[in-house]
Amino acid sequence: MSATTITRVYIFTVFERIWHWAQAGLIIFLLLSGFEVHGTLHIFGFQPAVAYHTVAAWSLVALWLFAVFWHLTSGEWRQYIPSLHRVDAMIKYYLLGIFIDAPHPFHATKLSKHNPLQRLAYLGILVFVSPLIWISGWFYLFFDKWPVWGWDKYLSLEWVALFHTAGAFMMLSFLIAHLYLITTGHTPSAHLKAMISGFEEEPAELPPHGAGTSSVSPPLKY
């Protein structure tokens, strides 16, 4: 069989694709407006940037609440359970294998959409980066209420701003890494197309998922 023969596997549902792009757009807009509030960028003007940032933040909260409901009711939350299975193979691939055209150690299926490193990265976003951003953001948003609620005795605006900015840079770093990794499919645009069409493309000569070869990892255990 020709090495260029490609098979298409339906991986991402319509909801997942809409959620992904809406979330990406809101996060990028939050970074732009947030860095303007911080004084790093000059795009909208300070006051409009504050208003836009607040609206986008609440929009993202609403989107995440809806996404959490969908993941819980559909069972797709299992896709994000971390696993150390073949993490070493993924690290070796990204450090060396990708530059010598080695076979990818993981191939997505409907049951295992994310490789082990992706799962660990998403876990870090969910349990550390996101809480850091949201908690500091809420403190920031309700700064005028601190004296009423007695928070001004315990909180410093400078420290809240520092933590919020640190979280923003962590999210920016994740975004940059994410943009790079989407180019690491069998073609630079393969993963991008998958998040548009829902179909992941794989070389057709690969054996079925989990067939026991060294180049294909079995479905991750939940």
Q: Is the pLDDT of residue 90 over 60?
A: yes
* CA atoms of 148 and 136, how far apart (whole Å): 18
Spatial CA neighbour of 120 closest among 131, 110, 128:
128
According to the model, what pLDDT value does residue 25 have?
Answer: 97
- Contact residues for 45 (Cβ-Cβ < 8 A; gap 6+): 36
Residue 208 has pLDDT above 50, yes or no: no
**Would you give the distance in Å from CA 25 to the centre of its chain?**
12
The hierarchical CATH code for the domain 6-203 is 1.20.950.20
Cα angle, residue 33 at apex, residues 28 and 38 outer, rounded to 5°: 120
pLDDT of 187 over the 90 cut: no
- Beta carbons of 202 and 193 less than 8 angstroms apart: no
pLDDT (tens digit, 9 = 90+) per residue, 142-155?
999 999 998 888 89
Predicted pLDDT of residue 104 = 82
Give the count of alpha carbons within 13 A of 182, CB side only: 12
Whether the Cβ atoms of residue 105 and residue 96 lie closer than 8 Å to each other: no
State pTM to two decimals: 0.82
> Exposed/middle/buried for 92, CB within 10 Å: 0-12, 13-18, 19+?
middle
The DSSP-derived string for 52-102 is HHHHHHHHHHHHHHHHHHHHHHHSGGGGG----TTHHHHHHHHHTGGGTTP
| Rg of the chain taking only CA atoms, in angstroms | 20
The pLDDT tens digits for 95-144 are 888 888 888 888 888 888 888 888 999 999 999 999 999 999 999 889 99
Instruction: Tell me the residue type at 101.
Output: D
Distance CA 202, CA 9 (A): 8
Q: What is the pLDDT of residue 4?
A: 55
Quick check: 171 pLDDT over 90?
yes
Mean pLDDT computed over every residue of the chain: 86
Calculate the alpha carbon distances from 11 to 17, 28, 110, 111 in Å. 10, 25, 5, 9
Q: How many whole angstroms separate alpha carbon 75 and alpha carbon 193?
A: 25
The residues spanned by each domain of the chain are 6-203
Mean pLDDT of 43-60: 95
